[in-house]
Structure 1
Amino acid sequence: MFAANFPLSRLEVDAFSKLPRKDVPIVTLDDGEGSAELAAQRLLELGYLDVSVFKGGIPTWKAAGGEVFKDVNVPSKSFGEFVESKRHTPSLSAQEVKKLIDDQEDVVVVDVRRFDEYNTMSIPTGISVPGAELVLRVPEIAPNPKTKIIVNCAGRTRSIIGTQSLINAGIPNEVNALRNGTIGWTLAGQELDKGQSRKFKEVSESTASEAAKRARSVADQAGVKRVKLADIAQWKSQAERTTYFFDPRTPEEYEAGHLPGFRSTPGGQLVQETEMVAPVRGARIVLSDPGGVRANMPASWLAQMAWDVYVIDDIKATDLTEKGVWTPALPSTPQIQTVDVKTASSWLESDSATICIDLSTHANYVKGHIPGSWFALRSQFSNAMKNLPTANRLVLTSTTG
């Protein structure tokens, strides 16, 4: 079943950006526990017009002989496996890569995950080069065509796509994926680095120009469509079809300046988890990168995944008029009482009838929370209240606001 993950606890936060058309047909689905009905009710309250509940949820689907998958980002991961099988994408085992490093061979390891993932744990000597940056950055990271390039991620998909991207673009070096990524490295009993900060550097104009030609050729072969900036205005107001507008450059470049109405979605992650940002089937995707490379390379994969994808050709620096981080469109919120830290602390210390409830993710709660606070899932808040102490005053908090 092609179903997009849409946590009930984030529904109001994500709905307007992921489901920009209020009349798009929506089917909510759960495991039979009742969350689908609650999600449908909330979507209707947000103004969505065509919302249905999949009766009986996953159990009914399975009973009818429907296939189910146990993973996240299944469409992209399946596509990665398909690419490897059809293109015979080369790879090396963790032991083989470690031997290359230990023998001080002429080899460069590029880590195509998000920088925060790389910083948490990485292959020794690895450099952070998120997926969409590879074709642009690798020519100066490994200028000698005899240098071997190893592409790694956490598991398989991003390293397969990254390796094949470099091969498709005609990079002259020998390129291999690290088979099974950091997971495979760990399973082989080999130590990972922690807290590394090695990153790619800016490239020369000549390198950028050559990379742009390579990426455009790859995109053309994949059937990526082209569009001019002036022509996308009609899509922003189009009522009968969903269009997503993504900027696949680095978050830092996005914050420095981007096209109005475009969301920061680094290209490597966009290919890895497409349904997380574009859950509407049959939608149009428009990518923006003034240099072309970071739009054309992800677009080449999205096109092969049967997305209707366009790259804008005529972007100038002066068109990047918006600055700052991307902020989602949100529904209006009710009037609520707020309290400052000092007062809340005083209440919790002196008033036993005051309790604090933390609605962060459980991972963030475990990392650190207000002393004495209780954890609760927002999606199960009413049930959580039954298990909390009786209180006359509730203080709600969350690391995500």
Structure 2
Amino acid sequence: MTPPGHPPAAAPRVSARDLHAMLADGRELALLDVRETGVHIRQHIFHAASLPLSTLELCAGPALPRKTTRIVLVDDEDGLAATASRRLCLMGYGNVAVLEGGQAGWDAAGYAGYSGLHVPSKAFGEVVEHVYDTPSITAEELDALGASGGVLVLDSRSEEEFHAMSMPGAASCPGGELVARALRHDGLVVVNCAGRTRSIMGAQSLISAGKHDVRALKNGLMGQRLAGLPFHHGRCETHVDRPLAEGAAPAAARLASALRIAVIGSEGVHALLADATRSCYLFDVRLPGAWRAGTLPGAISAPGGQLVQQTDAYAPVRNARIIVVDTDAVQAPMTAFWLRQMGWEVYIHRARADALAPPRPAEAVGVDDDGVRLPLAPAARVIDVGDSRQYRARHLPGAAWTVRSRLAQTLAGMPADVPLVFTCADGRLSALAAADARALGRDATHLRGGLRDVGADSFTAGDPRYLTAIDDVWYRPYDRDSGVEEAMRDYLRWETGLLERVMADATVPFRYEEILAMAGSLRGSAGLS
């Protein structure tokens, strides 16, 4: 183990065979893919969480709560993992290694590789549908029912996703809220998402809690588009302002109890968080607005449906503990119900109102530059290092785009005497990029506060200029400028194909037979389906 704060000359290296053994030894392990997310989705190890070098300092703290956790970094043998190791060691992480041969080394050893994003959660959704035989309805069948009325369509994605694109007549009800708000609806409930996972998980949550007249919209909004049916943009209808459904808390408690999930008080929370031998995540699984109004100290906002959908992103430390927190005794038990079946050691805590306080603001990045405000100096070259999708939608006039991890290559093609101003959404990533540029001998600063405080009339969507490959994020099928429907078909084929793959992969933490046994015990419990 490397002493924290003292980076090694070269990070220790582990072979693919050693890593495969580590994945099966039952101990904590954070397997981090430090390539850009758009590279990660092409081929990666099942348990590898995408944590790009570009954003490492901003994301490592919440993602890696214990400094002595075993960490293995994956790259393409291009130096990213070595740089990430040095940065993590400077942040106090002392047990960091690099995968020998990178992703190609793992593949060459004959071990399974996966494409896509949030694969553990997506695969789990397919297993759940298969085990529980979750009923579904096609877009065409739902459209035929529309004229008869009485059908409640609930969109289980985040409120932001719903606003961007939604089903006709649907209301927003993010997955963790479905049982809390819709359990006692009189009539058919159809749960949709963009594709498959959150539709399946949301519908099955309601069914398992005791509501039987429920369907998952097969293939979600993608199925709607492929059927040639319309969807809407910019709608704000919500179902989450409805009162707590009668019987929701007892139903959620029965499900958690059936799987022997412990409910702990404040002392139990403190004890788990104080245990220096184990990593422990503290997640507030209510909606972000509730979290902002008041939460437990140190709790991370992770709405229940999103946490189950993106578990690898929220909790990349395999075999860590998770505490889920709510105030209604519905969202936390329902989230824990699924996390337990995914193989997590999970605990439930219902927070008291007097224990809640507004969350602390995100910590400022440690750079020696306060940045600048608009207007910028005419001679300055503006470089946007934020999300490329946001850059495509709007950016400062004349701004070019790159990723921070390739900044040295980007700057090598620019005149050395040009002053640089870096931008991003909130100013944090751009401050780090500016510091990197100064370390390379450049005259560089960043836009203080980022683009979020800039007036709408200061942006343009025209004249985009990309200085490197556009692979920082996953471009969803409906983010594309062309080939949307074929990309949707490819995505749906990929997702449905995960079931067979994970059933044959011994490193997957949730086993089909174990989930089948849990589902059987639930069916045998009084009042459960």
TM-score higher than 0.5 here? yes
1:13–1:328: 8 Å Cα contact kept in structure 2? no
Residue in 2 that maps onto 1:99:
144
Counterparts of residues 2-401 of structure 1 (less than 5 Å) = 2-101=47-146, 103-139=147-183, 142=185, 144=186, 147-171=187-211, 173-204=212-243, 207-208=245-246, 210-313=247-350, 315-320=351-356, 322-324=357-359, 327-328=361-362, 333-342=366-375, 344=376, 347-348=377-378, 351=379, 354-401=380-427
Aligned residues: 382
* Secondary structure of the corresponding residue to residue 50 of structure 2: coil
Deviation per residue, 1:290-310 (Å, 9 max, x gap): 211010001000001110000
What's the offset of the Cα at 1:226? 1.6
Q: Which moved more, 1:29-38 or 1:7-16?
A: 29-38
SS of the residue corresponding to residue 158 of structure 1 reads: helix
Return the alpha-carbon distance in structure 1 between the equivalents of residues 271 and 362 of structure 2. 21
Judging changes above 3 Å, is the alpha-carbon distance between structure 1 residues 299 and 328 closer, same or farther for their aligned structure 2 residues?
A: farther
> 1:203 deviation in Å?
4.0
Q: Conserved in 2, the CA contact under 8 Å of 1:16 and 1:329? A: no
* Compared CA separation, residues 400 and 338, structure 1 to 2 (3 A): closer
What secondary structure, in the 3-state scheme, does the structure 2 residue paired with 1:287 have? strand
Asked if 2 retains the 8 angstrom alpha-carbon contact of 1:115 and 1:128, the reply is: yes
Kindly state the Cα deviation for residue 328 of structure 1 after the two structures are TM-superposed: 4.4
Q: What is the DSSP-based 3-state SS (H/G/I as helix, E as strand, rest coil) of the residue aligned with 1:52?
A: strand
User: Quick one: distance in 2 between partners of 1:337 and 1:223?
Assistant: 51
CA distance in 2 between counterparts of 1:278 and 1:365 reads 28
Distance 1:202 1:62 in 2: 49
Q: Summarize deviations over 1:346-386 as a string: whole Å, max 9, x none.
A: x22xx3xx312211111121122222222121111111112
Give the distance between the partners of 2:274 and 2:240, measured in 1 at CA.
38
Contact 2:183 2:210 (8 Å CA) reproduced: no
Distance 1:255 1:202 in 2: 17
Gaps of 5+ in 1: none
Question: Counterpart of 2:86 in 1: which secondary structure?
Answer: helix
Give the conservation status (yes or no) of the 8 Å contact 1:355–1:395.
yes
Question: Aligned in 2, Cα 1:288/1:111: closer, same or farther, shift over 3 Å?
Answer: same
**Cα distance in 1 for residues equivalent to 2:175 and 2:406:** 36
Query: Secondary structure in 2 aligned to 1:364?
Result: helix
Amino acid at match of 1:4: A
User: Which amino acid is the alignment partner of residue 311 of structure 1?
Assistant: I
- The CA distance in 1 between the partners of 2:253 and 2:415, in whole Å, is 61
Q: Pairwise CA RMSD of aligned residues?
A: 1.6
Q: Secondary structure at the match of 2:318?
A: coil
Distance 2:398 2:414 in 1: 12
Q: Check the 8 A contact 1:21/1:239 in 2, yes or no.
A: yes
Structure 1: distance between partners of 2:363 and 2:114:
31
> What secondary structure sits across from 2:347 in the alignment?
strand
Letter in 1 for 2:424: S
The 3-state SS of whatever aligns with 1:176 is: strand
Measure, in 1, the Cα distance between the counterparts of 2:175 and 2:403: 33
For structure 2, the residue ranges without an aligned partner over 5 or more in a row are 1-44, 428-529
SS of the aligned residue for 2:326 comes to: coil
What is the Cα deviation at residue 202 of structure 1?
A: 3.5
**Per-residue deviation, 1:238:** 2.1
Q: Normalising by structure 2, report the TM-score.
A: 0.70
Identity score, percent: 39
The CA distance in 2 between the partners of 1:235 and 1:165, in whole Å, is 28
* CA contact 1:14–1:328 (8 Å) conserved in 2: no
CA deviation after TM superposition for structure 1 residue 338, in Å: 2.1
Amino acid at match of 1:174: D
In the TM superposition, residue 32 of structure 1 has moved relative to its aligned partner by 3.0
> C-alpha displacement at 1:222, in angstroms?
2.4
SS at match of 1:341: coil
Q: Is 1:17–1:329's contact at 8 Å kept on the other side of the alignment?
A: no
